[in-house]
Amino acid sequence: MNKIPSSEITPESVYMSRRSFLKRAGLLAAAAAALAACKPQGAVLPPADAIPPSASGQTDELGDALTDYQDVTTYNNFYEFSLDKEAVARLSEGWITSPWSVTVGGLVNRPKTYDVDDLRRLYDEEERIYRMRCVEGWSMVIPWLGFPLSKLLKDVEPTGQARYVRFESVYDPAGLPGQRDPWFNWPYVEGLRLDEAMHDLTILSTGLYGKTLLPQNGAPLRLVVPWKYGFKSIKSIVKIELVEEMPSSLWMDAAPSEYGFYANVNPDVAHPRWSQATERRIGDLGRRDTLLFNGYEEAVASLYSGMDLRQNY
Amino acid sequence: MRLKFTRFQGLVHLAAFAPLAVLIIQAIADRLTANPIQAITQRTGQAAVIGLLLTLACTPINTITGWRAVLTVRRALGLWAGFYALLHFLTFAMLDYGLDLRQIGRAILEKPFILVGLITLLVLIPLAITSTRAAMRKMGARWKKLHRLSYLAAVLAVIHYLLAAKADFAAQPLIYGSILGLLMVLRIKPVRQWFIRRRASAATAED
């Protein structure tokens, strides 16, 4: 696991400053000029972390730029640590995620418990540059490292009865302060229909930007389902179970009128509070239109043919 | 030259400017999170709600403690609250939605909390416009009636906040709502009179 001492993170955040935001924010331009003298100048060093963040491309397939590594690793929804997105990176620093085992079972012929390092060796890591759309109305473009979930599922051989996949996050209230919050039904649980889970776009991720996942991003193993809202992409998985009935997720239990099982990105199905018609790409000023299935419509729409997406939100 | 402000009024203005100053400094230092527009939206909105509550607290504080100076900052606090509410709205309409009227219209129709927020602003505008001494004189008794709408604005602002907050983040708006409820109770006639009588008898006892 890559542990970055806070002494090294601070200069990086200064170094990676989003100056473009200021340049375009006319409202603040005058004040910026007045206080420009106070701004830290070039004396900061690039991050000393052994492996610098890297990716095979600069954009996704739509030509949208990757989100800054700094933003991807410091703006995180991970309620097991904190409700404050900015606090997760700090609070999760040093959280031990090795060794780590994942139990794959339920309605399968070959149930097995894997060590995450073995999973990495078993299935070649590939890079997938995906958009991630949070249900709160913001989005990122992230170069994930991982492997298709279908490879793992094929190896455990789901039985004919299996129709859904249920995922469970780690439960450790001693190490995860957020899990002492009785508001939620811990541990975090998510689910996919078997055909969604077998879809080639669905991956289990072990890294991003060419580096091993940091705790705040769901180390050491997380799901990434790019055409669904981010909360479906469950983090720090310890259990994968093939089941017959549609599993209920933590969010379905917490607020059934707001979060459904499918949670496909859909600009035409509004959430009570957040606009789903538009989104703010982190690093951008202003908004952009949200795309049906987060822009993966061509690849996944057939999974839902004949379904009322308003009913099955 | 005659000093326009008392020292206390000056302090209140400084304190009311502080949230904006901190916001500007943090924006320049790029310390407004990875989602700066959201941070600006949330913090200007919070400043507006707190400002409204402080405005409404002036009279009850005077009733309970007899402290008169507090009444001299009520208007300033109200105007600052209105100013932050306006910044909050401009952040939403310009920074966030880039004055895209189609998307703004859609957002208002889709999200009850945005509609409530907009109504809150519409209630606050006439109050800000009629906050001058001249308007006060000209309107006479009607001024007082109109400015009772500040309670409506505060109620709407708290509802707006509550609807906008994630269910698990509702603590703050609930706290503001409780404070507002308490302030409203203190304005009820028998309650107010009880405090006034208590203060009067305390004053007599001291004599």
Q: What is the pLDDT of residues B141-151, one digit of tens each?
A: 999 999 999 99
φ and ψ of A146, to 5 deg: 175, -165
Q: Does A75 touch chain B (CB under 8 A)?
A: yes
Q: Indicate the length of chain B as a whole number.
A: 207
In a domain? residue A313:
no
Asked if the peptide bond before residue B173 counts as cis, ω within 30 degrees of 0, the response is no
Residue closest to A181 by CA, chosen among B171, B37, B97, B151 = B171
Cα A252 from Cα A188, distance rounded (Å) = 11
B97 interaction partners in chain A (CB closer than 8 Å): 278, 286-287
In a domain? residue A7:
no
Position A284, amino acid: D
Q: Does A31 touch chain B (CB under 8 A)?
A: yes
In a domain? residue A2:
no
pLDDT tens-digit profile of B39-98?
Answer: 999 999 999 999 999 999 999 999 999 999 999 999 999 999 999 999 999 999 999 999
Instruction: Determine the pLDDT at residue A275.
Output: 67
Interchain CB distance below 8 Å, B30 and A255: no
pLDDT tens-digit profile of A41-56?
Answer: 433 443 445 688 999 9
Interchain CB distance below 8 Å, A36 and B38: no
Q: Does A38 touch chain B (CB under 8 A)?
A: yes
A40 interaction partners in chain B (CB closer than 8 Å): 29
B112 interaction partners in chain A (CB closer than 8 Å): 272
Write the DSSP assignment of B141-188 as a string of letters.
HHHHHHHTHHHHHHHHHHHHHHHHS-GGGTHHHHHHHHHHHHHHHHHS
Catalogue the long-range contacts made by A58-66 (C-beta closer than 8 Å, 24 or more residues apart). A59/A129, A59/A141, A60/A129, A60/A130, A60/A131, A60/A141, A61/A129, A62/A131, A62/A295, A64/A131, A64/A141, A64/A281, A65/A141, A65/A283, A66/A129, A66/A141, A66/A142, A66/A143
Interchain CB distance below 8 Å, A75 and B34: yes
Mutant choice from A77, A142, A275 vs B, greatest count of B C-beta within 10 A: A275
Q: Which of residues 134-163 of A touch B (CB under 8 A)?
A: 136, 138
- Contact call for residues A78 and A216 (beta carbons, < 8 A): yes
Mutant choice from A23, A86, A90 vs B, greatest count of B C-beta within 10 A: A86
Residues of B with CB under 8 A from a CB of A: 24-25, 27-30, 33-38, 90, 94-98, 100, 103, 106-107, 110-113, 163-164, 166-169
Calculate the alpha carbon distances from A243 to A188, A232, A247, A260, B155 in Å. Answer: 17, 17, 8, 18, 48
Kindly provide the ipTM of the predicted complex, given to two decimals. 0.75
Query: Domain holding A86: CATH number?
Result: 3.90.420.10
Please provide the average confidence, as pLDDT, over all residues in chain B: 91
In a domain? residue A105:
yes
> Which positions ≥6 away from A244 have C-beta within 8 Å?
A107, A161, A162, A163, A164
Interchain CB distance below 8 Å, B168 and A282: no
- Contact call for residues A216 and A89 (beta carbons, < 8 A): yes
Instruction: Determine the pLDDT at residue B109.
Output: 87
In a domain? residue A311:
no
3-state secondary structure labels for all residues of chain A:
CCCCCHHHHHHHHHHCCCHHHHHHCHHHHHHHHHHHHHCCCCCCCCCCCCCCCCCCCCECCCCCECCCHHHHCCCCCECCCECCCCCHHHHHCCCCCCCCEEEEEECECCCEEEEHHHHHHHCCCEEEEEEEECCCCEEEEEEEEEEEHHHHHHHHCECCCCCEEEEEECCCCCCCHHHHCCCCCCCCEEEEEHHHHHCCCCEEEEEECCEECCHHHCCCCEEECCCECHHHCCCCEEEEEEECCCCCCHHHHHCCCCCCCCCECCCCCCCCCCCCCEEEECCCCCCEECCHHHHCHHHHHHHHCCCCCCCCC
Number of domains observed in the structure of chain A = 1
Residue of B nearest to A84 (CA): B169
Interchain CB distance below 8 Å, A75 and B35: yes
Q: Write out chain A's pLDDT in tens, 313 residues.
A: 455 555 454 444 444 444 444 444 444 444 444 444 443 443 344 344 568 899 999 999 999 999 999 999 999 999 999 988 989 999 999 899 999 999 999 999 999 999 999 999 999 999 999 999 999 899 999 999 999 999 999 999 999 999 999 999 999 999 999 999 888 899 999 999 999 999 999 999 999 999 999 999 999 999 999 999 999 999 999 999 999 999 999 999 988 888 999 999 999 988 876 669 999 999 988 889 999 999 999 999 999 998 888 888 8
In a domain? residue A41:
yes
Q: What is the mean pLDDT of residues B160-178?
A: 85
Residue in this structure with the two tokens 């507090």, named with its chain if needed: B70
B28 interaction partners in chain A (CB closer than 8 Å): 22, 28, 31-32, 35-36, 38-39
Size of interface A-B (CB pairs under 8 A): 99
Which of A89-93, B84-88, B111-115, B203-207 is the least confident region?
B203-207
Interchain CB distance below 8 Å, B96 and A287: yes
Instruction: Determine the pLDDT at residue B1.
Output: 47
Mutant choice from B30, B100, B166 vs A, greatest count of A C-beta within 10 A: B30
Interchain CB distance below 8 Å, A280 and B37: yes
B34 interaction partners in chain A (CB closer than 8 Å): 68, 70-71, 74-75, 85-86, 282-283
Instruction: Determine the pLDDT at residue A4.
Output: 53
> Which positions ≥6 away from B165 have C-beta within 8 Å?
B172, B173
In a domain? residue A250:
yes
Cα B11 from Cα A238, distance rounded (Å) = 56
Query: Residue A170's domain spans which residues?
Result: 12-304
In a domain? residue A39:
yes
Residue closest to A169 by CA, chosen among A257, A271, A251, A70 = A251
The token duo for B65 is: 């403690």
Q: Does A29 touch chain B (CB under 8 A)?
A: no
Q: What is the mean pLDDT of residues B89-112?
A: 91
Interchain CB distance below 8 Å, B25 and A35: yes
Interchain CB distance below 8 Å, B111 and A36: no
| Pick from A14, A22, A270: CB nearest B110 | A270
